[in-house]
Amino acid sequence: MTSLKTKDKNHRQQSTVHRRIVALAGGVGGAKLAHGLAQILPPEDLTVIVNTGDDFEHLGLYISPDLDTVCYTLAGLANPETGWGRVNETWNTIANIEKLGGPNWFRLGDQDFGTHLERTRRLKDGQSLSQVTKDFCKVWDIKHTVLPMSDSPVRTIVDTDEGELAFQEYFVHRHCEPRVKGFRFDGVEFAEPAIGAREAIDSADAIVICPSNPWVSIDPILRVLKKIDKPVIAVSPIIGGKTVKGPAAKMYAELGIEPSALAVAEHYRNLLTGFVLDSKDGQLSDKFKGKILVTDTLMNSNTDRARLAVDVLHFIGSL
């Protein structure tokens, strides 16, 4: 076990934070660290590759929840209470849909509806998801590069004790209640990484796996990317055996694996150069075989995000 204490000032002075990074991200957890990295790294040094396995069509619209969460977060437009959706949102459209007898289980705010309407129009006009994302990022003044993992459809299907469920059906409609038996990613065999993703990885110093759900946010991206020949650092989304939010710990438990930072490191075992776990899990340090960083990983504020990003970058510099 090699551990780097975050308060090691000498080490900090020796290593540089200027690294070219590709971050792999799902929604809320991933977006927070992506935002931290964006606060530290210049635009040319950060590309965020985002899961699109959660994407679906609803109310005739193409919805890309993780991509929107990452973009809204980087743009400072995200709702700070939920982590998803827009700040200062109103809910007239969904209220009207509900009144008319339409589905209301997937909550979409009025400004958010605008994003989905315009994205759907552009996709129907023949633009790719990455082109639409690039154009939206420009409007939202996001300087760092955000890419969907692929421009081809990949759909996460959750196998449960009630049969197979499309991801949003399981996650939002059924509140993650059915017991999980496994996952598959429809279309992943045919999906190529989005244009620019491979190049970003080839020119990166390291890949950072953000603290996102390993099963349904990161695994689809890894399946699309297939091979990564760069140092990979992952940040645990599980702290003290629990998730900060979402079903990752419940998924581990239902699949017969004790949820913990160790389980996350084991999940990525063939890829990892280094692993970042929370100070609350410091007592587990001796159990890790590879290089680890023990630090505070809970990101409750923009400052927390930037601090964790600096810690991760120094850790990368030390490897």
Binding region for ligand GDP (CB under 6 A): 25-30, 32, 66, 69, 211-213, 217, 235-237, 239, 243-246, 248, 297-299
Backbone angles phi, psi at 222, to 5 degrees: -65, -35
Least distance in angstroms from the C-beta of 13 to ligand GDP: 26
Phi-psi region of 173 (alpha: psi -120 to 50; beta: other; left: phi over 0): alpha
Least distance in angstroms from the C-beta of 42 to ligand GDP: 24
Least distance in angstroms from the C-beta of 214 to ligand GDP: 8
Cβ nearer to ligand GDP, comparing 95 with 182: 182
Cβ nearer to ligand GDP, comparing 131 with 302: 302
Cβ nearer to ligand GDP, comparing 32 with 307: 32
CA distance 112 to 268: 34
The 8 Å CB, 24+ separation contacts for 303-310 are: 304/36, 305/32, 305/33, 305/35, 305/36, 305/39, 306/36, 306/39, 306/40, 307/36, 308/33, 308/36, 308/235, 309/33, 309/36, 309/37, 309/39, 309/40, 309/41, 310/17, 310/40
Q: Which residue has the tokens 């692993």?
A: 275
Least distance in angstroms from the C-beta of 261 to ligand GDP: 9
41 CB-contact burial (10 Å; exposed 0-12 / middle 13-18 / buried 19+) = buried
Which residue has the CB atom at the shortest distance from ligand GDP?
29
The torsion angle over the Cα atoms of residues 163, 169, 174 and 176, rounded to 10 degrees, is 80
Cβ nearer to ligand GDP, comparing 3 with 190: 3
Cβ nearer to ligand GDP, comparing 102 with 240: 240
Cβ nearer to ligand GDP, comparing 151 with 281: 281
Beta 21-25 vs 46-50: how paired, if at all? Answer: parallel
Least distance in angstroms from the C-beta of 278 to ligand GDP: 6
Least distance in angstroms from the C-beta of 165 to ligand GDP: 16
